[in-house]
Structure 1
Amino acid sequence: MSALHTSNVNKKSIACRLFYVSTLRGKGTRLKFFSSLIALCCFCFSTVIYAGLLNINPATVEAESWTILDTQTGQVIAEHNSHAQRAPASLTKMMTAYIALKEIKAGRLNKDEIITATPIVSIVQPDESQMFLKPGEKISVDQLLAGLIVMSANDAAVSLAEKISGSLPAFIARMNQEAQAIGMKNTHFSNPAGITMDDHFSSAHDLALLGDTIVRQAPEYLHYSKQPSFSYKNKEHLATNLVLKLDPSSDGMKTGFTKAAGYNLALTAHRPNSQQGLAERRLMVVVMGTKGMEKRAEVAYKLLDLAYYYTRNQVGLEGKQLIAEVPVNKSANKLYKVEAKQTQLITTSLYQQVGAIDLALFDLAQHSIMQADAQGQMTAIAPKTDVVTHMNVALKQKDLTAPVNQVIQLAQVNIYQGDQLLQSFDIEDQVQIEESTWYQRFWAWLQEKFPFLA
């Protein structure tokens, strides 16, 4: 998809496009400034608490910004400039498709529904990715979704937007509402296709959150994103995500390109978990600002494979695991057991070297980080097989006094690997403790003074 051009179009088309481009521009500029300020603050705090698991040298990763997210634990495995606001290009269409799939799930849209293309498709320029829809042309919602995700068609994007919300401005407002709900703090959308605009931006981190949300709430998206091609009007269109040909575990996600953005790629895959009994593991990789189609595939695939082989998921807290005991006043039960209510997973590092990882030395064929030995021969650095973690518990309640019947935050559990904080879990519970009678308290006092009565 190219940047915006207005040549060789009629006045009506130009007017439509200018409205399309100018929507929310002033508001977006202010949002961008404040979002940058907030992002800087959040980044400063988050890097102190949750540093990436793998220390990958950014100079060896040929992308302007990138991130690797473990969707099972929510941990960032590695990142660089992941909160920086950049042009998302057609990664924008992830949000457009997400909204469409939500509408289908809610019953307000049917994927088999046949719609009629409106004059809105005329705002798409000849040099943009498109299905070449004409006003009055009949097409199904299912075909539009395939065109949107596989072909990256801009006319599919604007057609779905208008169908769902009635107008582009209304749909754009919906996009930003959804982004806010997901927690995309460095994102502002101004069009549904990814056209370059000053107030249209996102970040690698935000797009990883969006990808995770799509997989969880609209997994039907993957039916389209892992398709190697899509045929329309007797013409086959090959998917531009080259990783689909390299990795059978990949489900794709979305590619994007403009001159302003460079080559972007959001990529997800699922592989068996190395720990028995755990569900398969899904990672999300986003790379932005690479130099070519092949390069974005190479960088994303290396980051993905490296993360799978040099990190693993394991149980951090067992369900019903005893965390601590809190003293209770005015009750027959003197101690309240603080327990983990459910099993909590953590992601741990299997990389055992001190120095930063050179991504250029990661061998995809061997799934290994390579290093030169004393004789100058390249040898593989094997992942660790054993991982030691430790837990720190901070009680939020020194004691409890009966009667109690409310939800209370009882403790915070911090899990470390070495001196690196991996995860923090807040333990809260619906605490129900009845106040004991004077007789029960007296009898408890006697048992304390005379243990043989117990």
Structure 2
Amino acid sequence: MKSFIALFLAVFLIFSFTPPIYALDSSTSNSTLPIVHGEGAYLIDVLSGQTLFMKNPDELLAPASTTKIMTGLLAIERGNLQDIVTASSTMLNNKLVYGTMIYLEPGEKMPLQDLLYGTLLKNSANDAAVAIAEYIGGDIPHFVEMMNQRAHEIGADQTHFSNPSGLTEKEHVTTAHDLALIARVAYQNPVFAQYVRTKSTTISRSKENVPKLLVNENKLLWRDSSVDGIKTGYTAAAQNCLVASVTKDGRQLIGVILKSPGREIYTDMENLFDYGFTQYKSEVYKPAGTAISSITVNNQSVDLILDRPLYITQKQGEPQQTLDLKVSVLGASVLTSVEEGQEVAQVEVLEGNKHLDTFPLKASRTVQPETPKLTLSSFYKPWYIALIVIGSLIIVLFNRNRNSSRYWRRRTRLSKQRKSSYLQDK
């Protein structure tokens, strides 16, 4: 009896165990899911913004140098890449600047574009990231505020940055989900995309015996021609971190793996990509030019149209899902005129309660402002009253002058008559 109970408990424990992997479809067999050794993971389809795989997506983890995705994005969005940046004395502060470096010295000048290569390539130079932060933000604390504000704008609300480089700090955390959102927005910037797909480049420096050849540390970029970025990271606390992008057959996927114990992180990422391409497909949900809604301008209907296609990603062999589209008009709710192609609204794309993307909506045609009509009520307007008053004054003055002229003509005639009578009497 005891052995039977022991066997029953063993079987129960085996089948009641749930691994910390979350699939989008509960009917999917775990045997089809990729094995990821990292603590957190996320796979996202860039065109649709939809999630294909996740593991502990909201667990707070250290991002290490994947932090520099945000640092690089802000450098591109807020700076001029041709500007010359002068390294400050902060380069000597070994509490803020240590680890991987390109060995900047105080007073050394370098174009922002080269500092950005140093930040995103060459095993991600921490001194280059600090130099960028001080140049763009004025100082590191203000730049960190900018990082957190931009993360909030993107929707990465669980992320909190404490420095621009990714060095370990207690409050410097993100999640696999947030990092995927940040990477997706960053990669949609073509300048950022060009940087992170660069395998190697050489920068000019006046000093000797300092790094000039900068090499991308992302092993997948060298191993697979379809991989096109984006950033590696490592600290003792964060362990191995990788954010990678792959583009194939018209689709782009971005994967995130955080806190992976070893070099298997690259194999795990390849497995994630293979899963995304073989198990899911993307197709156009609403083509460019589709009227999503309409507005009324001067009693005329104007369609609100997409200027680029809206995509949907779904499991292979399953019927097409539906997405919720929430339209909101920009600015004034009542328009008096509109130009064809003018952006007048936006549509939020939702998968259930989950925000996927926001698309601009443009007017399908031009409607001119209505010509004012003169009505009885118009006379009550102040400027009409002023015209009436001025007109009345003119009439009064005219009549006054007219009466005055009659008076003097009459008086002249009477004077002449009196003079004539006087001469006759003589």
TM-score by length of 1: 0.59
Give the secondary-structure state (helix, strand or coil) at the position aligned to 1:60.
coil
1:77 pairs with 41, 52, 73, which one? 52
CA distance in 1, matches of 2:244, 2:158: 20
Question: Within 5 Å, which residues of 2 pair with 1:372-383?
Answer: none
Distance of aligned partners of 1:226 and 1:414 in 2 relative to their CA distance in 1, 3 Å threshold: closer
Q: Contact 2:245 / 2:255 at 8 angstroms: preserved in 1?
A: yes
C-alpha deviation, 1:259, in angstroms = 0.9
- Correspondence for 2:184 among 199, 204, 212: 212
Shift of 1:181: 1.0
Q: Is the alpha carbon distance of 1:52 and 1:237 closer, same or farther for their aligned partners in structure 2, counting shifts above 3 Å?
A: farther
TM-score if structure 2 supplies the norm length? Answer: 0.63
Determine whether 1:348 maps to 2:314: yes
Which of 243, 262, 266 is the matching residue for 2:243? 266
**1:412-431 aligned within 5 A:** none
Whether contact under 8 Å (2:98, 2:126) holds in the other structure is: no
Paired position in structure 2 for 1:313? 282
Matched AA of 2:267: E
Within 5 Å, which residues of 2 pair with 1:256-405? 256-273=233-250, 281-292=251-262, 294-317=263-286, 343-350=309-316, 387-389=318-320
Give the Cα–Cα distance (whole angstroms) in 2 for the partners of residues 199 and 162 of structure 1.
Answer: 20
From 221, 243, 255, the equivalent of 2:192 is 221
| 1:160 maps to 2:132 | yes
After TM superposition, give the deviation of residue 168 of structure 1 in Å: 0.8
Equivalents in 2 of 1:127, 1:414: separation in Å? Answer: 43
Q: CA deviation at 1:287?
A: 0.5
Does the aligned pair in 1 maintain the 2:34–2:272 contact within 8 Å?
no
The answer to whether residue 133 in structure 2 is matched with residue 134 in structure 1 is: no
- Map of 2:384 onto structure 1: none
* Superposition CA RMSD, Å: 4.4
Alignment map for 1:108-127 (pairs within 5 Å): 109=80, 111-124=81-94
State the alpha-carbon separation in 1 of the partners of residues 247 and 98 from structure 2: 35
**1:316 match: secondary structure:** strand
Q: Does 1:94 align with 2:60?
A: no
For residues 115 and 357 of structure 2, what CA distance do their matches in structure 1 show?
42
SS in 2 for 1:211: helix
Q: Does the 8 A contact of 1:346 with 1:422 survive in 2?
A: no
Structure of higher CA gyration radius: 2
Which has the higher mean CA deviation after the structures are superposed, 225-234 or 247-256?
A: 225-234
What is aligned with 2:228? 251
Cα drift, residue 221 of structure 1: 1.5
Q: Does the Cα contact within 8 Å between 2:305 and 2:362 map onto a contact in 1?
A: no
Q: Deviations over 1:146-171 (max 9, x none)?
A: 10000200000111111112111111
Are residue 240 (structure 1) and residue 211 (structure 2) matched? no
Aligned positions, number: 318
Deviation of 1:392 after TM superposition, in Å, equals 9.2
Q: Distance in 2 between matches of 1:171 and 1:147?
A: 18
CA 1:234/1:123 → structure 2, altered by over 3 Å: closer, same or farther? closer
**CA separation in 1, counterparts of 2:284 and 2:27?**
16
Distance 2:50 2:355 in 1: 8
Against the structure 1 CA distance between its residues 318 and 93, is the aligned structure 2 distance closer, same or farther, given a 3 Å change threshold? Answer: closer
- How far off its partner does 1:60 sit? 2.6
Which of 56, 60, 68 in structure 1 is aligned with 2:35? 60
CA distance change for structure 1 residues 392 and 237 in 2, over 3 Å: closer, same or farther?
Answer: closer
Distance 2:167 2:218 in 1: 20
Deviations 1:290-316 (A, max 9, x none): 112x31211112211221232111133
Q: 1:412 to 1:208 in 2, by over 3 A?
A: closer
**Aligned-partner SS, 1:220:** helix
- Contact 2:85 2:131 survives alignment (8 Å): no
Q: 1:177 aligns with which of 146, 149, 165?
A: 149
Q: What's 2:339 paired with?
A: none
SS in 1 for 2:190: coil
The answer to which of 133-142 and 204-213 deviates more is 133-142
1:206-257, Cα deviation, whole Å (9 max, x unpaired): 11111111122x3212222122234454654432211012211211111111
Asked if 1:198 is matched to 2:167, the reply is no
> Residue 310 and residue 59 in structure 1: after superposition, are their counterparts in 2 closer, same or farther (change >3 A)?
closer
Q: 2: distance between equivalents of 1:303 and 1:284? A: 10
